[in-house]
Structure 1
């Protein structure tokens, strides 16, 4: 079944989109930043965007050596802090995220992922309290974990979480989010994701949940080169070996515009034939004018 997943977060709102930009509210602040998928017209005028926005991201020339993203600068239209906290509440999960204006237009949270966070909460709850419940805390692995949204959701719902990212500064950001959310005991690993999972396979480790959110391009802490098209197949093969046979969930997100959910499905099904409860589709944010903005594809499955 092909699904369009649109989360609903009280502290976030996509106000408008178009002309390769998006206007978003994160808590009490409104930001305007580039969005290559917003190929349609804006519904609001440029004047209204200027009036509403607390800060606007403007591209500057030049790209990072291994990133397709252009650097830029934030222009403060109205006074706002460089860092602020945003509340997140869904179901039983209540978290706080530290947000910040970065030179790559990101702010520290991908709100479309809340659709997967809800899924994580549901699956961990079933593993803990449902039929044939586990006798111990579910073990969850979050790869390319960024600022830790999925890690925090898993931990808040009782999982034993291992959080892997290759960037030390991002791990520090994740730790601040954990502390702001009054959580403890997440296992932090600063390492190349493929190296980590290969070692875990050799050790015979098993996980009840695996979350993958690989970028199109990246670098490991020792300069390892990551290119999605070249590394995804090998990474998925190793990750699937780490899944507990009887109790598991698996989430793969892909942001590269050249990849579809069908590619994810084909690779996974070639390496695992006994998939239960599969779902695939797109992560979508809908603006105030009912325009649907696609922000990545997903493939996920679970035994619960």
Structure 2
């Protein structure tokens, strides 16, 4: 079992975490927002957090997700950041959303590297990569930057628009955008006999498709993975899944994958985490990934 954390890069830093919150720097701006897994005490004082943070997310009463950002003068609603990948630089938009998110999950940088490297190593002229529950699409950018023909699937039209902005900011083009329920899309691709050299899944614990389709991770992930097995090119491939449900462990991911795929080449599984400036490790999900190369 592995513990993965990104190589530090200039546009992101986890400064401190604790008291069910995290203090992060995205580019030039420092944000404080909720973090349910930071159950220990903060290292810095509340006064230091207040002096550093240019934006603080305040939850709505009785709602663990929605809320509003309280900002200091000079804090923009939107800005950009960059991530160096190979010989290229990915550029992404950041924004203060009403769901505490900003458009980027920094711990995923460890997986962006995996996607880029494995896509390059496939030895296929234009490998096909499918990104499901793709959010704002930095994983899609990583595959496209490595030369893949990328299909990006998300159920939220506004998120697809955000992803397109990220593609254009990164001077990339020709990603295929699908505003669709992931399960419906995969079932249709299986019926059509399509296959992909790379499949990326980043499913939420709960969600809704564009037509109100219900997604519950525990109830549907097993079926979705069985369908993904049929879509994965049997000779040359990579596969990556991230899971964020607090009730899931890396051992559940391993058991799920091995029961369905039976044999995986070069498997890696474990936890993703971010270290703060005081060497506390903040866990931020589990992963399982494998590749023929």
Q: Find out whether 1:94 has 2:89 as its counterpart.
A: yes
How far apart are 1:124 and its partner, in Å?
1.1
Q: Which residue of 2 aligns with 1:130?
A: none
Quote the Cα distance in structure 1 between the aligned partners of 2:159 and 2:53.
26
Superposition CA RMSD, Å: 0.9
Q: Deviations over 1:15-70 (max 9, x none)?
A: 0000000000001100000000001111101101111111000101244xxxxx42
How far apart are 1:270 and its partner, in Å?
1.1
Q: Which runs of 5+ in 1 are unaligned?
A: 64-68, 128-132
Higher mean displacement: 267-276 or 93-102: 267-276
How far apart are 1:87 and its partner, in Å?
1.1
Match of 1:121, SS state, is helix
Quote the Cα distance in structure 1 between the aligned partners of 2:242 and 2:87.
24
Q: Find out whether 1:38 has 2:41 as its counterpart.
A: no
Q: Find out whether 1:14 has 2:14 as its counterpart.
A: yes
Hey, which bits of structure 1, 4+ residues long, moved more than 4 A? none
How far apart are 1:78 and its partner, in Å?
3.7
Counterparts in 2 of 1:202-281, with a 5 A limit?
Answer: 202-281=191-270
Q: Which residue of 2 aligns with 1:83?
A: 78
Counterparts in 2 of 1:125-164, with a 5 A limit?
Answer: 125-127=120-122, 133-134=123-124, 136-164=125-153
* TM-score of the two chains, using structure 2 as the length reference: 0.98
Q: Which residue of 1 aligns with 2:25?
A: 25
How far apart are 1:260 and its partner, in Å?
1.0
Q: Which residue of 2 aligns with 1:124?
A: 119
Quote the Cα distance in structure 2 between the aligned partners of 1:174 and 1:75.
26
Quote the Cα distance in structure 1 between the aligned partners of 2:86 and 2:277.
23
Q: Which runs of 5+ in 2 are unaligned?
A: none
Aligned positions, number: 292
Q: Deviations over 1:243-282 (max 9, x none)?
A: 0011100000000000111111111111112210010000
**Contact in 2 for aligned 1:62/1:70 (Cα 8 Å):** no
Q: Find out whether 1:179 has 2:165 as its counterpart.
A: no
Q: Deviations over 1:205-229 (max 9, x none)?
A: 1100000000000000010000101
* TM-score of the two chains, using structure 1 as the length reference: 0.94
Quote the Cα distance in structure 1 between the aligned partners of 2:50 and 2:263.
52
Q: Which residue of 1 aligns with 2:3?
A: 4
Quote the Cα distance in structure 1 between the aligned partners of 2:5 and 2:85.
13
How far apart are 1:90 and its partner, in Å?
3.1
Match of 1:107, SS state, is coil
**Contact in 2 for aligned 1:252/1:299 (Cα 8 Å):** yes
